Each structure stands twice: as structure tokens, then as C-alpha cells.
Amino acid sequence: MYFLAVIEPILFWGGLIVFVVSLGMYAGRTKDMKSILQFWQPTIVFSPLENKVNRIGLAMMIVAVVIRAALFVML
């Protein structure tokens, strides 16, 4: 259980960094900051690599939240 408590913040912050890197990759390729700032509008068209990086970051954060919820229930 201690291992999960240690890995959870690493997954969350690592996932957030990976997610932001994917947005940076998109901004570097397209120079379209408006789409990133207006994230509620579906105007971002990721390249396949940017999409994979983005989904990996989101998955890492979701796993971290699931671990946090599991630890909350266990304790």
C-alpha cells in the first residue's frame, strides 16, 4: 500500500507534464494558441504522435486518480 501512495503523485504530475508537452508539440507545429486557450471548443487537430502523447498523459492522470480513490477507501 505504501508503494501506491508513493507512485500516485508521480503518475499524476508526470501525466500532467506529458499532457502539457503534447499541447506544446501542437502549438509548436501549428502556432495556434487560440485552440489551446479555448479548450472547451473542439478545434485542436492533433497529429498521430501528439494524440498518442496526449492520451498517455491523460491515462497516467486517470490511473493516479483511481489509485487515490482506492487508497481513500482502503484507509
Percentage of residues of the chain with pLDDT beyond 90: 75
pLDDT at 18: 97
CB atoms within 10 A of CB 42: 8
DSSP string, 36-60: HHTTTS------HHHHHHHHHHHHH
CB atoms within 10 A of CB 50: 20
Number of domains in the chain: 1
Q: Which helix (H) or strand (E) holds 33?
A: helix 33-37
Dump pLDDT digits (tens) for 22-57. Answer: 999 999 999 989 988 888 888 899 999 999 999 999
d(CA 8, CA 37): 28
pLDDT at 52: 96
pTM of the model: 0.86
- Domain limits for position 36: 2-74
